[in-house]
């Protein structure tokens, strides 16, 4: 960087002790810049340490240094024990690199003290965090409902466009993937069950197993998991970035409540879309199951379809669809809630999105368990 | 010089003979749109060059070409005498270690605290131990007038002015010979902008690195640059000192330098000294 002796070829950094009349003097020469030092730093540090041990109070002469920068200066500075040696010969143009080093040094280390109660503390903090999340989510729901009250008197001001866009994104565009997953699950389940049923000669019960299993449980669950992964993560990331870029504040200062414009449409859209997706996925899964039953058990598809209504009471279908509405609302709320908590850095966005999806799926499974308990004796004929 | 094979050691010496940056007959084309048409410019060591031009005139793109972030359709860009295209990767990597870049928004890694942001390029070299790196980071923080207690803060907890200073410290940590500044004072209030300009100025004077910057701010331009390159009509319209550039008769120059803002900036003592 500092070009001195520009005619002479640049030499490697070197250290030499010369004995003079006034005692030993350490001569530093050559290039002491980062380019020359990056490959030699370790060796030179050792050599410098040896030299300082050998001739402790010697004078230092840097006038033969061809290039110097902060890296070279700091290497020497550390060897001097972080203060100027008594005698120091220095080119005037190199003085600048030591001027900043003379300042008073306090070491600022990373705050990394070990906390013995850390585990207990972390457990407590996590419990409180869960409560905090729950309170926050209830508040978000309440705020959204309060803000939505005005829509009762002014329905034209409702976020209908946003709802429609949400339905398109979370529903129409998810038709392909839900169908593919549904079909695979139906075929697999049917294949495995039919193997078992055949050994008992209970082939006809494949309709019951598939019907109840898919319509009541699997269809809603698969859909909820897919929607949480697909739309939930997108919602969290979108709201998170909007929060970071102050777009939410921009909405607020225009007098547009973000709950009505951003959160309500997502909740409504998912509440509408998830039950529809469940119907779709369950139908495809049953179709796949029927196909597999035809191949495995030789059961005609028409027979499968015609025995379905008697094997699966219609209330199971309503139960599945009803669950879908609840799941949709839960996924939307959880995703929005996590989106609102994202902080302005890339790591937080990643963690927030992951947590949002994991929490959505967990919440959906919990809700499903609650449904199972409440409706334990509905729709399952034991005759 | 041409007889000397390009090695790690000799690469460092190229800067003395060749211009630090040499852009030759550069064409940049995005789709149908021609951004640079046969553009050439050579920047000598120790200069502080400002690229100015209307919006969409391709100043930022030209800087990105010099950084190797865009690729020329035709022509070449050589930095430290080494062409960026067609040179082995490890040599281009050497060049990349000899320049520092200050991005417009700072581009600090938001997941890392200030200390690790500045230490990252040093750690990448794998030549220095943590003790040395610590002292080096603190030294750089001192140089940009950031208090050491901020070292463990996250970028999101810092003000815009501090982010710029820390980004400058990160740009300077590998002792670059060439520093790129993209809108160094954008988004700073006049007071901070002035102190940031004088910080860059004093660092440039003491460390004598070459500066290429893109700026809209006339005050920054007048007080920092030794030469000005005006981009218009897909080429370098004028390249010279403030005095030479303002003498050019072109609508952009008239508007930019001789408008109301321009007159005010030119009346400043720094400008008077430059125009002479």
Search chain B and give the residue with CA nearest A351.
B111
Compute the distance between CA of residue A153 and CA of residue A216 in angstroms, rounded to an integer.
38
Compute the distance between CA of residue A231 and CA of residue A346 in angstroms, rounded to an integer.
20
**All residues at 6 or more sequence positions from A278 whose CB lies less than 8 Å from its CB, including other chains:** A219, A220, A223, A320, A321, A323, A324
**Predicted TM-score (pTM) of this structure:** 0.72
The fraction of chain B above a pLDDT of 70, given in percent, is 90
Instruction: State whether residue B149 sits within 8 Å of chain A by CB.
Output: yes
Query: Quick check: helix, strand or coil at residue B105?
Result: coil
Which element (helix H / strand E) includes B95?
Answer: helix B89-97
Indicate yes or no: CB of B152 within 8 angstroms of CB of A108. Answer: yes
Compute the distance between CA of residue A6 and CA of residue B124 in angstroms, rounded to an integer.
30
Cβ-based contacts of B134 with chain A (< 8 Å) = 107, 109
Choice among A253-262, A269-278, A283-292, A361-370 with the minimum mean pLDDT: A253-262
Distances (CA, A) of B91 to B5, B120, B177: 12, 20, 16
Which among A326, A332, A355, A381 is positioned nearest to A211, based on CA atoms?
A381
Chains A & B: contacts with CB separation below 8 Å: 78
Indicate yes or no: CB of A345 within 8 angstroms of CB of B156. Answer: yes
Note whether B25 and B88 are within 8 A (CB). no
Residue A174 has pLDDT above 80, yes or no: yes
pLDDT tens, position by position, A207-245:
998 999 999 999 999 999 999 999 999 999 999 999 888
Cβ-based contacts of A68 with chain B (< 8 Å) = none
pLDDT tens, position by position, A53-111:
887 777 888 888 888 888 888 888 888 888 888 788 888 888 888 877 776 555 555 66
- Facing A346 at nearest CB: one of B111, B127, B177: B111
Cβ-based contacts of B111 with chain A (< 8 Å) = 345-347
Note whether A303 and A201 are within 8 A (CB). no
Cβ-based contacts of B127 with chain A (< 8 Å) = 37-39, 41-42
Note whether B193 and B217 are within 8 A (CB). yes
pLDDT tens, position by position, A21-58:
777 888 888 888 888 888 888 888 888 888 888 877 77
Indicate yes or no: CB of A41 within 8 angstroms of CB of B148. Answer: no
Search chain B and give the residue with CA nearest A349.
B111
Question: What DSSP line would sit under B262-273, residue for residue?
Answer: HHHHHHSHHHHH
> For position B273, what pLDDT does the model report?
62
> For position A6, what pLDDT does the model report?
46
Compute the distance between CA of residue B10 and CA of residue B7 in angstroms, rounded to an integer.
5
Residue A64: both structure tokens together: 């033969």
Indicate yes or no: CB of A345 within 8 angstroms of CB of B155. Answer: yes
Query: Quick check: helix, strand or coil at residue B2?
Result: coil
- Facing A100 at nearest CB: one of B98, B132, B142: B142
Note whether A332 and A363 are within 8 A (CB). no
Indicate yes or no: CB of B13 within 8 angstroms of CB of A10. Answer: yes
Instruction: State whether residue B209 sits within 8 Å of chain A by CB.
Output: yes
Per-residue pLDDT tens digits of chain B, which is 276 residues long: 344 444 444 444 544 567 899 999 999 999 888 999 999 999 998 899 999 988 888 888 999 999 988 889 999 999 988 888 888 888 888 888 889 999 988 889 888 899 999 999 888 888 888 888 998 999 999 888 888 889 999 888 888 889 999 999 999 998 899 999 998 888 888 888 888 898 898 888 888 899 999 988 888 888 888 999 999 888 898 899 988 888 888 888 888 887 777 777 777 666 666 654
Residues of A with CB under 8 A from a CB of B: 1-3, 6, 10, 33-35, 37-39, 41-42, 69-71, 74-75, 77-78, 96, 100-101, 103, 105-111, 343-347
Q: What is the ipTM of this complex?
A: 0.77
Note whether A263 and A204 are within 8 A (CB). no
Cβ-based contacts of A109 with chain B (< 8 Å) = 134
Residue A269: both structure tokens together: 């859209």
Which among B171, B184, B221 is positioned nearest to B52, based on CA atoms?
B221
């Amino acid at each position: 960087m500092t070009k001195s002796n520009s005619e002479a070829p640049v030499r490697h950094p070197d250290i030499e002790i010369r004995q003079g009349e006034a005692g030993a003097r350490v001569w530093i020469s050559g290039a002491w810049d980062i380019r020359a030092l990056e490959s030699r730093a370790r060796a030179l540090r050792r050599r410098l340490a040896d030299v300082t041990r050998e001739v402790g109070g010697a004078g230092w002469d840097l006038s033969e240094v061809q290039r110097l920068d902060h890296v070279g200066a700091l290497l020497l500075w550390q060897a001097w024990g972080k203060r100027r040696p008594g005698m120091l010969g220095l080119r005037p143009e190199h003085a600048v690199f030591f001027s900043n080093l003379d300042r008073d040094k306090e070491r600022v280390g990373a705050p990394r003290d070990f906390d013995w109660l850390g585990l207990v503390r972390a457990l407590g903090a996590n419990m409180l965090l869960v409560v905090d999340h729950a309170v926050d989510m209830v508040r978000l729901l309440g705020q959204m409902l309060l803000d939505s009250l005005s829509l009762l008197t002014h329905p034209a001001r409702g976020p209908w466009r946003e709802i429609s866009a949400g339905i398109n994104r979370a529903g129409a565009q998810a038709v392909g993937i839900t169908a593919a997953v549904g079909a695979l699950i139906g075929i697999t389940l049917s294949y495995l069950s039919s193997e078992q049923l055949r050994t008992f000669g209970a082939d006809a019960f494949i309709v019951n197993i598939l019907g109840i299993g898919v319509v009541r449980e699997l269809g809603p669950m698969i859909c909820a998991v897919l929607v949480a992964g697909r739309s939930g993560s997108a919602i969290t990331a979108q709201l998170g970035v909007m929060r970071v870029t102050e777009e939410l504040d921009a909405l607020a200062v225009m007098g547009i409540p973000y709950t009505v414009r951003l959160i309500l449409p997502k909740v409504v859209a998912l509440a509408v879309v998830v039950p529809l997706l469940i119907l779709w996925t369950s139908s495809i899964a049953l179709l796949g199951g029927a196909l597999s039953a035809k191949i495995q058990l030789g059961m005609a598809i028409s027979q499968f379809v015609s025995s379905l209504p008697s094997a699966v009471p219609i209330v199971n279908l309503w139960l599945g669809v009803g669950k879908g509405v609840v799941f949709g609302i839960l996924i939307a709320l959880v995703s929005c809630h996590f989106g609102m908590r994202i902080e302005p850095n890339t790591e937080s966005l990643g963690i927030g999105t992951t947590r949002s999806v994991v929490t959505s799926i967990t919440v959906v499974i919990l809700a499903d368990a609650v449904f199972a308990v409440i409706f334990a004796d509905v729709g399952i004929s034991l005759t | 010089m041409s007889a000397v094979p390009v090695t790690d050691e000799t690469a460092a010496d190229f800067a003395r003979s060749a211009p630090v940056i040499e852009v030759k007959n550069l064409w940049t084309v995005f789709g149908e749109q021609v951004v640079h048409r046969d553009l050439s410019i050579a920047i000598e060591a120790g200069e502080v060059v400002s690229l100015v031009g209307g919006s969409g005139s391709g100043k930022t793109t030209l800087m990105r070409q010099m950084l190797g972030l865009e690729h020329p359709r035709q022509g070449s860009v050589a930095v430290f005498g080494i062409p960026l295209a067609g040179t082995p990767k490890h040599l281009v990597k050497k060049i990349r270690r000899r320049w520092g870049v200050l991005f417009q928004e700072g581009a600090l890694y938001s997941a890392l605290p200030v200390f690790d942001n500045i230490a990252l390029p040093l750690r990448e070299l794998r030549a220095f131990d943590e003790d040395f790196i610590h002292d080096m980071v603190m030294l750089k923080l001192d140089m940009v007038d950031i208090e050491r207690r901020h070292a463990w803060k996250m970028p999101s907890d810092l003000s815009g002015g501090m982010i710029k200073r820390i980004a400058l410290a990160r740009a300077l940590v590998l002792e670059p010979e060439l520093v790129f500044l993209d809108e160094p004072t954008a988004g700073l209030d006049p007071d901070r902008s002035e102190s940031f300009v004088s910080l860059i100025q004093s660092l440039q004077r003491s460390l004598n690195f070459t500066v290429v910057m893109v700026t809209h701010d006339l005050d920054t331009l007048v007080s920092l640059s030794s030469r000005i390159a005006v981009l218009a009509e897909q080429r370098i319209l004028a390249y010279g000192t403030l005095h030479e550039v303002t003498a050019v008769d072109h609508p952009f120059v008239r508007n930019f330098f001789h408008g109301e803002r321009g007159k005010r900036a030119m009346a400043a003592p720094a400008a008077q000294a430059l125009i002479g």
